[in-house]
């Protein structure tokens, strides 16, 4: 990851919270713990990719700050997780994400969400979440399943099967009840293109 990609990712995450400007960056950084944690997540990934001695020392310090933030705000987001641009956590607390999970661009996570793995059975593995997915409060997405682009997962749903594109899944176990998707839940995606 180069510096321009890092800045682009930070801008995309900032755009999902507020306007893109230095002033709004500082406001979000100071007042929005979820944005601040995502910023340190992006910074850790950037510094880890650099490979020079100074970046490794800086990475160690930033990683410590990031770890302390995870504990303080109840968000388990391992550095190994693949997260696309425009990541947004609406309310922090009780969020657990497996380090091997893949989360697409412009995804919203709410409080109490678990994205976890299963270790046996036909759906062994970790979830792959598409672009523009909304995950409601308390939802659990578990196993080697795929959540299609623009899907919406309802509050407290337990998802153990694939959800199609634009699917709205609710219940325990979750079932698709409509194809209206996440329209109306995913906004502020008009950030500048990112060279990934």
Using H for helix, E for strand and C for coil, what is the string for 50-111? HCCHHHHHHHHHHHHHHHHHHHHHCEECCCCCEECCCCEECCCCCEEECCCCEECCCCEECC
What percentage of the chain carries pLDDT values higher than 70?
Answer: 100
The pLDDT value given to residue 184: 93
Please say if the pLDDT value at position 195 is more than 90. no
Number of Cβ within a 10 Å radius of residue 128: 19
Q: Are 75 and 101 in contact (CB under 8 A)?
A: no
Question: To 5 degrees, how large is the angle CA 124–CA 128–CA 133?
Answer: 140
Please state whether the peptide bond connecting residue 173 to the residue before it is cis, i.e. omega within 30 degrees of 0.
yes
Domains of the chain: 3-73 (no CATH), 82-178 (2.160.10.10)
Q: What is the pLDDT of residues 109-164, one digit of tens each?
A: 999 999 999 999 889 999 999 999 999 999 999 999 999 999 999 999 999 999 99
Please say if the pLDDT value at position 22 is more than 80. yes
Task: Read off the pTM.
Answer: 0.93
- For 33-46, the DSSP string reads HHHHHHHHHHHHHH
pLDDT category at 56 given cuts 50, 70, 90 is: confident
């Amino acid at each position: 990851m180069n510096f321009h990609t890092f800045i682009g990712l930070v801008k995309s995450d900032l755009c999902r919270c507020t306007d893109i400007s230095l002033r709004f960056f500082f406001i979000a950084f100071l007042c929005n713990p979820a944005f601040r944690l995502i910023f340190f997540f992006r910074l850790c990934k950037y510094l880890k990719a650099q490979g020079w001695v100074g970046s490794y020392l800086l990475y160690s310090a930033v990683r410590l700050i990031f770890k302390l933030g995870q504990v303080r705000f109840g968000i388990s987001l391992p550095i190994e997780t693949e997260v696309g641009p425009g990541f947004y956590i609406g309310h922090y607390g009780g969020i657990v994400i497996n380090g091997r999970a893949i989360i697409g661009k412009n995804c919203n996570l709410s409080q109490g969400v678990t994205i976890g793995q299963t270790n046996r059975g036909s759906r062994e593995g970790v979830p792959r979440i598409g672009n523009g997915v909304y995950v409601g409060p308390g939802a659990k997405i578990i196993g080697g399943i795929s959540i299609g682009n623009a899907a919406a997962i309802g509050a407290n749903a337990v998802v153990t099967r694939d959800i199609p594109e634009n699917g709205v899944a609710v219940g325990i176990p979750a079932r698709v009840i409509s194809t209206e998707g996440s329209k109306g839940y995913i906004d502020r995606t008009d950030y500048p293109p990112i060279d990934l």
